[in-house]
Structure 1
Amino acid sequence: MTFLTVITYLGIFMFALAGAFKARGAKLDIFGGLVVAFVSAYGGGTLRDLLLGVRPLTWINDNLAFGLVFAGTAVTFLVKDKVNNFRRTIFFTDAMGIGLFTAVGIEAAIQTGTNNLYSLIMGIITATFGGLIADIFCGYAPLLLRKGELYATACAAGGLAFILINKYFDFHRSLDLSICVILVVAVRIYSKRKRLTLPEI
């Protein structure tokens, strides 16, 4: 199992957790939670694959990935009496998810021969669109579009670092991916704590 595969599966699990916690906040039943967890984990990657013309979709016939969605939903159900601060839990699982999926999305695009700019865009789409769809399903204002949230911006910062490191330095690929993940998560957490925002249009 490659390092890219490891962070892909970890990202799926983290987004499944985030999606299931969102479903709990919206007071959905366990089936609704599973649907939202699935959409959160697979939505961005599915859109990326469709745009890149990847067939079959990367999650088709991947039983381990599907099992991780079930596991994330089950964990959320089992700890429902032990996790009181849903917003904090969702925030940290989602921050980890976008970091992992930004790296995965960029690398997946690069492997298809996509240029650096569009690989960065594919990374942002992979990281953010699953959560956007999950937010819509749960009736929340999507984090991707919410004022005061450096969400896609955090993905862009980490993704750009990945692109530049890959272009100008001869590091091991796992180090490139790790730097991307860490930077996305760090920017997301720091911007939230310091209440950093982008200028209004």
Structure 2
Amino acid sequence: MDTLQIISYTGVFVFAVTGVLKARTKRFDIFGAVVLAFVTAYGGGTIRDLLIGVRPVNWVNDNLALVIVVLSTIITFFFKLNTTLIKKSIFWVDAFGIGLFTIVGIQVALRAGISNGYALVMGIITATFGGLLADVLCNKVPSILKPGELYATACLLGGGLYLVMLNYHLQSETSMIISILVIASIRIFAIRKKLQLPII
């Protein structure tokens, strides 16, 4: 298993946990929680693969993917948190999750022969569209569309930095870690300082 796969599966676990925590706020049953965990973890990657023509999509024939989603649901099920702690947990887990998935999305696109600019777009889609689909299923306004979130913006800046570091031939693992931390930091800082893009 290479570094990209480790980061990918870590991202799957992190986003699956986010999905289960969201399901808990809506009082879903265990099956609903598994569905939401799967959508959150694999929705963005599925859309990315369909757009760039990767067949089969990333989770098909990947038994470990299903195991991770189910395990994340079971583990999260046994941690009973109050609503405030759930919201804080979603925020912290999600901040690092979008960092992990941005880098995974960029790498998958680059390996498929996609140009740097569109690889960055695929990284943003990978990181954000799973959460978008999960929010829609929960009947919520997706975080990516809310002012004061800098959700996709964090992915854009961190992903752009990652591509710059790749062009300067920095060590791949180091570039990945730095970019993930930058994305998570921007997201956390934006929420704490209530930063937002101009509103139309």
TM-score (norm 2): 0.97
Structure 1 residue aligned with 2:26 = 26
Structure 2 Cα separation of the partners of residues 44 and 182 of structure 1: 20
The answer to whether the Cα contact below 8 Å between 2:20 and 2:34 also exists between their aligned partners in 1 is yes
SS in 2 for 1:85: helix
SS in 1 for 2:40: helix
Structure 1 Cα separation of the partners of residues 133 and 154 of structure 2: 19
The answer to whether the Cα contact below 8 Å between 2:25 and 2:83 also exists between their aligned partners in 1 is no
Q: Count the aligned residue pairs.
A: 200
Q: Any unmatched runs of 5+ in structure 2?
A: none
Q: Which amino acid aligns with 1:25?
A: T
Label 1:47 to 1:28 Cα distance change in 2 as closer, same or farther (>3 A).
same
- Counterparts of 1:1-201 in structure 2, within 5 Å, are 1-81=1-81, 85-167=85-167, 169-201=168-200
The answer to whether the Cα contact below 8 Å between 1:102 and 1:180 also exists between their aligned partners in 2 is no
Structure 1 Cα separation of the partners of residues 178 and 60 of structure 2: 29
Q: Which amino acid aligns with 1:176?
A: S
Structure 1 Cα separation of the partners of residues 50 and 135 of structure 2: 21
Q: CA deviation at 1:83?
A: 7.5
Cα deviations by residue, 1:130-175 (Å, 9 ceiling, x for unpaired): 00000111111110101211100000010000111111x1211111
Q: Give aligned-pair identity as a percent.
A: 49
Label 1:25 to 1:83 Cα distance change in 2 as closer, same or farther (>3 A).
closer
RMSD: 1.2
Structure 2 Cα separation of the partners of residues 79 and 187 of structure 1: 28
Structure 2 Cα separation of the partners of residues 146 and 76 of structure 1: 27
SS in 2 for 1:175: helix
Structure 2 Cα separation of the partners of residues 172 and 13 of structure 1: 25
Structure 1 Cα separation of the partners of residues 120 and 81 of structure 2: 39
Structure 1 Cα separation of the partners of residues 105 and 166 of structure 2: 14
Q: Any unmatched runs of 5+ in structure 1?
A: none
The answer to whether the Cα contact below 8 Å between 1:26 and 1:139 also exists between their aligned partners in 2 is no
TM-score (norm 1): 0.96
SS in 2 for 1:182: helix
Q: Which amino acid aligns with 1:160?
A: G
- List 4+ stretches of structure 1 deviating above 2 A: 81-84
Q: Mean alpha-carbon deviation: is it higher for 77-86 or for 30-39?
A: 77-86
Structure 1 Cα separation of the partners of residues 132 and 6 of structure 2: 24
Q: Which amino acid aligns with 1:63?
A: N
Q: Which amino acid aligns with 1:120?
A: L
